[in-house]
Amino acid sequence: MKKLLRISALITAALMLFVMVGCGGDEEEEGDKVAPTLVSASPASGDLAANASITLTFSEKMGSVSASAGTATLGADGKTATVAPSGEWPAGALSLTITGKDVAGNDLAAAALSYTVKEADKVAPDIAADSCSPKNGASGVDPASVSGITVVFTEAMGSAKLVSFEPKDAKVDSKFDGDKTLAISFLGGYKLSNEMEIIATVEGTDKAGNALKTTKYTFTTMKKEE
């Protein structure tokens, strides 16, 4: 009798395990059913240079993105994409419909963009010296007041990145916000000191593909008190 009870218990346990595994499989099959959305576009609307690209940001990683005009290219992060003209956008009103699927295959929620196409942008972007923090070219900066650096550009950028940073022993990280700002942060508790020259070499292009005019961002910290 005891042997039969043991066998019965083993069979019951096996059946319960089978049911649990089966239920888990059903949940996995359901997968991601949430439709992705277009979170933002830069520029969002208004005037658009005939040779400018449009930067798109999505709510999640995308598997594919396409536009009703131009060429859509998905970024390496999967959550951004650019839409560029094949040559130049035609002058006048421009309407774009953005479609795509996320990595799970869900269709992008309907997204439409409208612009007025103007003449091509041939002007190179630059560093907006007075808008930077600290200001580009500033001297006598109190090192204790600098917890991070903000490099601001004169127009929306298609790309921007930090190429090199001095002092060489400084550990830094940088992040481009997708618009006009490149933020540089210090890592590992690094702090600036007196009588120090900071040189950040940056590069980038605006949305029309024009290369950055000024690539050096600099400032110097104040002298030591005597």
CA atoms of 3 and 177, how far apart (whole Å): 70
Higher pLDDT pick, 28 / 153: 153
Residues 124-144: tens digit of each pLDDT: 999 999 999 999 999 999 999
CATH architecture of the domain with range 129-221: Sandwich (2.60)
Residues 63-116: tens digit of each pLDDT: 999 999 999 999 999 999 999 999 999 999 999 999 999 999 999 998 999 999
Contact 51, 117 (CB under 8 A): no
Can you name the CATH fold of 38-118? Immunoglobulin-like (2.60.40)
Q: What is the pTM of this model?
A: 0.74
pLDDT score for 110 = 84
Residue 66 token pair:
């396409």
Domain ranges of the chain: 38-118, 129-221
pLDDT over 80 at 5, yes or no = no
Fold matches, 38-118 and 129-221: yes
- Long-range pairs, 86-92, Cβ under 8 A, ≥24: 88/50, 88/51, 88/120, 89/48, 89/50, 89/51, 89/52, 89/115, 89/117, 90/50, 90/117, 91/50, 91/117, 91/118, 91/119, 92/116, 92/117
Residues 163-222: tens digit of each pLDDT: 999 999 999 999 999 899 999 999 999 999 999 999 999 999 999 999 999 999 999 999
Q: How far is CA 17 from CA 7, 25, 72, 181, 192, in A?
A: 15, 12, 48, 55, 60
Higher pLDDT pick, 218 / 42: 218
Residues 134-170: tens digit of each pLDDT: 999 999 999 999 999 999 999 999 999 999 999 999 9
